[in-house]
């Protein structure tokens, strides 16, 4: 089964993208760092914020700019096939950046903290609405009550079939498992949609 | 006279510095104020892969390439890198790197891959390779 993307690629190298989302302080960069072969790097975007301009004596509007940082890591699967993991920026005001990040993404990991489960609602909502395959990874923090995957799925009101995985964002093996579950799930979702479109 | 947010007076023509965030306006001074890549119309996704074009002229063209352009070429020379990695390596905002890469693309110095469009996700074969590669980590 040869995909059209093989024919369309300008080079033989293929880069894939997985997003790592979740509330503030939930462990996104930790997860990326645990599985990445390079230490997490940071990209920055400068955004000018409309409506917050400062008039100066020249009569020229100057916009206030904000720096938005995204941490990312990389896993080289083999020569010519790399997987990039991008931590998403904060969840208010930056949704248009999420749209850009989501372009062509394989899927996403939504990291959840059971002590503040509601922090991942916006991310879950975002991916469900855009039909982007995602798994919920419950990062187990000390002092957090142990929850079953089923409880978390109900608490987040997840669409039926969305995988919930327990993990420790600091552990490479745990992070691997989360990514594997996501890639498998993304493959199944994609196949299911293909079948839907021809039936 | 308007005060800056940091409280000091501002002279006309001076680059505006924010005490906390550092030089906000200066990064786009490298691109001559341009915020979008040039007419080739290529949009650089964060994971678009940038390769030095082996057919490109070997000599440095000092009149056309600025130090930031050459820094990017230097990074590409080591290995093919994504736009995100180049921005991190050059310590420049992604928007600025996109404009500079647009210049390099127009000059024929680099080639850029286009990431898979959303409608054409990788096929089964590639996904299986990724899963096996992850298991082997």
| Domains located in chain A, CATH noted | 12-198 (3.40.50.300)
d(CA A119, CA A156): 10
What is the torsion angle, in degrees rounded to the nearest 10, for the CA atoms of residue B48, residue A16, residue B126 and residue A76?
90
Residue of B nearest to A35 (CA): B137
Q: What is the pLDDT of residues A4-25, one digit of tens each?
A: 444 444 446 889 999 999 999 9
What CATH number was assigned to the domain covering residues B34-114?
Answer: 1.10.10
Residue B28 has pLDDT above 90, yes or no: no
Residue B133 has pLDDT above 90, yes or no: yes
Q: Is A192 on the interface with B (CB under 8 A)?
A: no
Note whether A13 contacts B10, CB cutoff 8 Å: no
Give the one of A9, A84, A186 whose C-beta lies nearest to B82's C-beta. Answer: A84
> Between B137 and B5, where is the model more confident?
B137
Q: Is A43 on the interface with B (CB under 8 A)?
A: yes
Mean of per-residue pLDDT scores for chain A: 86
Strand runs (DSSP E) across B19-62, as ranges? 22-23, 49-52
Between helix A172-198 and helix B124-135 the angle, nearest 10°, is: 170
Mean of per-residue pLDDT scores for chain B: 76
Q: What is the pLDDT of residues A99-109, one digit of tens each?
A: 989 988 999 99
Q: What is the pLDDT of residues A28-63, one digit of tens each?
A: 999 999 999 999 999 998 877 655 445 555 555 556
Label residue A139 exposed, middle or buried (CB < 10 Å: 0-12, 13-18, 19+).
buried
d(CA A171, CA B89): 26
d(CA A94, CA B35): 19
Residue B22 has pLDDT above 60, yes or no: no
Nearest Cα of chain B lies from the Cα of A97 at a distance, in angstroms, of 11
């Amino acid at each position: 089964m040869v995909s059209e993307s093989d024919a369309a690629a300008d080079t033989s190298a293929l880069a894939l993208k997985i997003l790592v989302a979740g509330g503030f302080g939930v462990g996104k960069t930790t997860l990326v760092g645990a599985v990445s072969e390079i230490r997490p790097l940071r990209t920055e975007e400068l955004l000018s914020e409309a409506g917050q301009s400062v008039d100066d004596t020249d009569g020229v509007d100057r916009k206030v700019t904000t720096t938005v940082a995204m941490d990312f890591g990389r896993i080289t699967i083999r020569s010519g096939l790399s997987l990039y993991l991008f931590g998403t920026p904060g969840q208010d005001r930056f949704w248009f950046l999420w749209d850009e990040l989501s372009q062509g993404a394989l899927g996403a990991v939504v990291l959840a903290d059971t002590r503040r489960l509601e922090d991942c609602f916006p991310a879950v909502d975002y991916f469900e609405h855009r039909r982007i395959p995602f798994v919920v990874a419950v990062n187990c923090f000390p002092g957090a009550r142990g929850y079953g995957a089923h409880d978390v799925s109900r608490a987040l009101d997840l669409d039926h079939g969305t995988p919930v995985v327990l993990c420790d964002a600091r552990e490479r093996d745990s992070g691997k498992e989360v990514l594997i579950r996501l890639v498998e799930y993304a493959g199944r979702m994609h196949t299911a949609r293909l079948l839907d479109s021809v039936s | 006279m308007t005060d800056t947010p940091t409280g000091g007076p501002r002279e006309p023509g001076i680059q505006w510095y924010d005490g906390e965030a550092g030089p906000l306006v200066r990064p786009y001074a490298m691109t001559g104020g341009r915020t979008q890549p040039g007419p080739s119309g290529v949009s650089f996704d964060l994971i678009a892969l940038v390769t030095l074009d082996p057919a490109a002229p070997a000599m440095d063209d000092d009149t056309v390439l600025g130090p930031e352009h050459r820094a990017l070429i230097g990074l590409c020379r080591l290995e093919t890198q994504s736009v995100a990695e180049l921005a991190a390596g050059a310590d420049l905002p992604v928007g600025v790197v996109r404009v500079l890469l647009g210049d390099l693309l127009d000059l024929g110095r680099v080639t850029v891959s286009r990431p898979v469009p959303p409608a054409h996700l990788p096929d089964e074969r590639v996904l299986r390779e990724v899963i096996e590669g992850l298991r082997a980590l």
